[in-house]
């Protein structure tokens, strides 16, 4: 397996989509308790999956790339980064992205273990929050990072003006 960036091993796979609005369940309905949701308006949805061997040191570069790459469409139809749009960010843990076809099923043997994955995911979220909080345009506009609960079912509703789906590997 070769990463899109040319290195020989993939540590993380990310799919990015653009949205006008997105809603994600962060806690399923429970006895005497309704489901809990987070939502964002215009911005970027980041589906993320970590592979075995991924370590904390990939997170800063990964987040820096995702926050600064020009995938977001401005009102004038040009492309800019989510930090410069300024846009919101919704992070969705998505272990299925690590799947490899085997016969008629999918195998996930390359995925990172649950505990390590949870740590990397938490670090990824906190680095995204930090980048947004340091970006003047984002803090002025009040754009936010929201994120799903690692290991949960990611009940997602997405409204786009074109998802502009991109794949990135790190």
Q: Is 149 in the site for its own copies (CB under 8 A)?
A: no
In this chain, which of 5, 36, 55, 139 binds its own copies, going by CB under 8 A?
A: 5
Residues 90, 57: Cα–Cα separation, whole Å: 22
In this chain, which of 26, 116, 149, 164 binds its own copies, going by CB under 8 A?
A: 164
Q: Is 109 in the site for its own copies (CB under 8 A)?
A: no
Residues 91, 25: Cα–Cα separation, whole Å: 12
- The least distance separating its own copies from the CB of residue 141, rounded to whole angstroms, comes to 20
- The least distance separating its own copies from the CB of residue 12, rounded to whole angstroms, comes to 13
Q: Is 160 in the site for its own copies (CB under 8 A)?
A: yes
Residues 137, 106: Cα–Cα separation, whole Å: 42
- The least distance separating its own copies from the CB of residue 101, rounded to whole angstroms, comes to 6
The closest alpha carbon to 12, from 40, 49, 47, belongs to 49
Q: Is 15 in the site for its own copies (CB under 8 A)?
A: yes
CB 48 within 8 A of CB 94: yes
- Assess whether the previous peptide bond of 22 is cis (omega < 30° from 0): no
The closest alpha carbon to 45, from 147, 149, 150, belongs to 147
142: left (phi over 0), alpha (psi -120 to 50) or beta: left
Looking only at residues 45 through 104 of this chain, which bind its own copies when binding is defined by CB under 8 A? 47, 65, 68-71, 79, 81, 92, 94, 96-97, 99-101, 104
The site for its own copies (CB under 8 A) is made up of: 1-2, 4-5, 13, 15, 47, 65, 68-71, 79, 81, 92, 94, 96-97, 99-101, 104-106, 153-168
């Amino acid at each position: 397996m070769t990463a899109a960036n040319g290195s020989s091993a993939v540590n993380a796979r990310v799919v990015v989509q653009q949205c006008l609005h997105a809603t994600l369940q962060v806690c399923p309905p429970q006895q005497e308790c309704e489901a809990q949701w987070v939502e964002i308006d215009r911005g970027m949805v980041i589906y993320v999956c970590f592979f075995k061997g991924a370590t904390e040191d990939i997170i800063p570069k990964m987040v820096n790339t995702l926050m600064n790459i020009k995938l977001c469409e401005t009102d004038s139809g040009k492309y800019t980064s989510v930090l410069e749009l300024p846009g919101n960010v919704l992070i969705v843990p998505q272990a299925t992205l690590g799947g490899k076809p085997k016969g008629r099923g999918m195998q996930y043997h390359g995925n990172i273990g649950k505990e390590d994955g949870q740590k990397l995911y938490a670090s990824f979220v906190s680095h995204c929050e930090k980048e947004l909080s340091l970006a003047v345009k984002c803090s002025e506009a009040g754009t936010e990072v929201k994120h799903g609960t690692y290991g949960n079912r990611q009940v997602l509703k997405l409204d786009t003006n074109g998802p502009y789906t991109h794949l990135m590997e790190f």
